[in-house]
Amino acid sequence: MDSNSGQTRSIWMAIEEELESAPLGENMHADVCIVGAGIAGMTTAYLLTRAGKAVIVLDDGHIGGGMTERTTAHLCTAIDDRYFKIEHLHGEKGAMLAAQSHTAAIDRIEAIVGEEGIACEFERLDGYLFVPPNDSQDVLEREVKAAHRAGLTDVEHVERAPIDGFDTGMCLRFPRQAQFHPMKYLAGLKRAIERNGGRIFTGTHAGKIEGGTNGRVETDSGFLVTADAIVIATNTPVNDIVTIHTKQSSYTTYVIGARIPRGSVARALYWDTEEPYHYVRVQSVSARDGDDYDLLIVGGEDHKSGQADDGDQRYANLEAWARERFPMIASTEMRWSGQVLEPVDGLAFIGRNPGDQQNVYIITGDSGMGMTHGTIGGILITELIVGRSCPWEPLYDPSRITLRASLQYARENINVAVEYFEGYLSGGDVDSPEDIAPGEGAIVRRGLSKVAVYRDEDGIVHERSAVCPHLGGIIGWNKSEKTWDCPCHGSRFDCYGRVITGPANSDLESVKED
């Protein structure tokens, strides 16, 4: 399938039927209720059931149906924000703890794969960090020194990355990185969790979440889960209104899967330092007709969520970048996008939810490293709930204030304020619904109000309020994904206004209710 087909289905989505359970159908109690069944929620559930806790997991989609199935599944200790920046923001000890925790996350995934016999194509391989052509090598010099100070003493300079036909120049090699098939891994965790007595309910939306002595999670279907502890593992917290959302920002990242001959690209993880940066890996595909091949998975072209609607151009940019460096590409088979939560100080927020009851925990702020940050979250939250100490707790504490990140904090929140201002004062995208083509959406202004209008393929018009139910930002149409996206905090809704990504936790209101 070529890159103009509009295909936005990731390679990991092929086993959805293995990742569904029945929805919650009665009131229940558990030691721990986990909201969200992605890598963070499922890892937490697995480790807690191993510790003897009674666990219930709720997800409004299927297991892994959020950002986990849109990841490129790099498992790495090479931090996206660079160790010299983490060291500047969190000190040398903080950088060392970050390196230790990401290393431990990869080791834990490998151990779980072995102990549970999960066939998820886990493999160790090298990672290579390189600069764009003709750029200064200074960033690599700073990074290798910081990585060594953080304890990653096996990171080293090499003459080039093992890419035939493209000379990256001097780069850094990070040994013992890894990759896997994330959805097959979650399928294995599901089996283990249920064997250990855990219960998983998909198709179940957690509408109201309250901590305290008798923690409560009320579902939209009217059923209730009570629990001694509640863990919110929904990529971005859907139980928070403001606090965490001012400390992290949502970015949209794009991915293409390009068909290449089997074995034509060395199996490794590849990253560059361009702005926005690119990330690459290889996934082997066994075709039903016996025509096996490799898929080169290439990501990048990030932008603030909801603040651009040029996905087709960004996919084209990715393909052009990839073809220049990997001329063996035959065709682009698929493409998709995902959301990355960028904390202002480069590290995830994992622990007790600030300003909430002491038994409410959150895992968020993946910073482009969702698979390892999610696993760190599972390890750390389990330690907190069972009452054990963990040296990582202060580093990932969601209530932390990083003074050296104050300027970035101000920039991100000024950006949000501008989006509010422009959203309410600007006109509509079109004058009337008649101007909208079938299969497309647009914002229409009606007096003081704005309406999100979608015309389906049969020409039927569907209207919802254009006001995001989270904090009132004005949403915009995403042509590539056929979604409504909020430019303030990254909430996303399908073309009919149903919520698919938080922090919003409810659908767009009908126009009459606006």
Work out the average pLDDT over 463-467: 92
Contact status, residue 483 vs residue 494, Cβ threshold 8 Å: yes
Work out the average pLDDT over 256-263: 95
Find residue 34's DSSP bridge partners.
57, 231
pLDDT bracket for residue 17 (50, 70, 90) = low
In total, how many domains does the chain have?
Answer: 3
Q: What percent of the chain has pLDDT over 90?
A: 74
Kindly state whether residue 100 falls inside one of the protein's structural domains.
no
Kindly state whether residue 128 falls inside one of the protein's structural domains.
yes
- What's residue 270's pLDDT? 97
- What's residue 444's pLDDT? 92
- Indicate if 195 and 173 belong to the same structural domain: no
- Indicate if 495 and 446 belong to the same structural domain: yes
- Indicate if 337 and 279 belong to the same structural domain: yes
- Least confident among 83-97, 135-149, 229-243: 229-243
Backbone φ and ψ for 168, nearest 5 degrees, come out as -75, -15
DSSP codes joined into one string, 341-381:
EEETTSS-EEEEPTTS-TTEEEEE--TT-HHHHHHHHHHHH
- Indicate if 470 and 355 belong to the same structural domain: no
- What's residue 513's pLDDT? 47
pLDDT bracket for residue 1 (50, 70, 90) = very low
The pLDDT tens digits for 190-216 are 999 999 999 999 999 999 999 998 899
> Cα separation of 3 and 25, whole Å?
42
The CB density around residue 350, as the number of other CB atoms within 10 Å, is 29
- What's residue 14's pLDDT? 60
Contact status, residue 484 vs residue 500, Cβ threshold 8 Å: no
- Indicate if 278 and 154 belong to the same structural domain: yes
- Indicate if 38 and 168 belong to the same structural domain: no
For residue 242, the enclosing domain spans 11-71+183-246+346-404
> Cα separation of 278 and 300, whole Å?
5
Kindly state whether residue 418 falls inside one of the protein's structural domains.
no
- What's residue 402's pLDDT? 85
Contact status, residue 134 vs residue 143, Cβ threshold 8 Å: no
**Residue 159 predicted with pLDDT over 80:** yes
- Indicate if 437 and 492 belong to the same structural domain: yes
Looking up residue 381, the CATH number of its domain turns out to be 3.50.50.60
Contact status, residue 53 vs residue 29, Cβ threshold 8 Å: no
Burial class (CB in 10 A: 0-12, 13-18, 19+), 193: buried
- What's residue 410's pLDDT? 80
The pLDDT tens digits for 390-410 are 999 999 999 998 878 777 878
- Indicate if 275 and 333 belong to the same structural domain: yes
Instruction: Report the b/e string of 24-38 with b at 16+ CB within 10 A.
Output: beeebebbbbbbbbb
**Residue 2 predicted with pLDDT over 50:** no
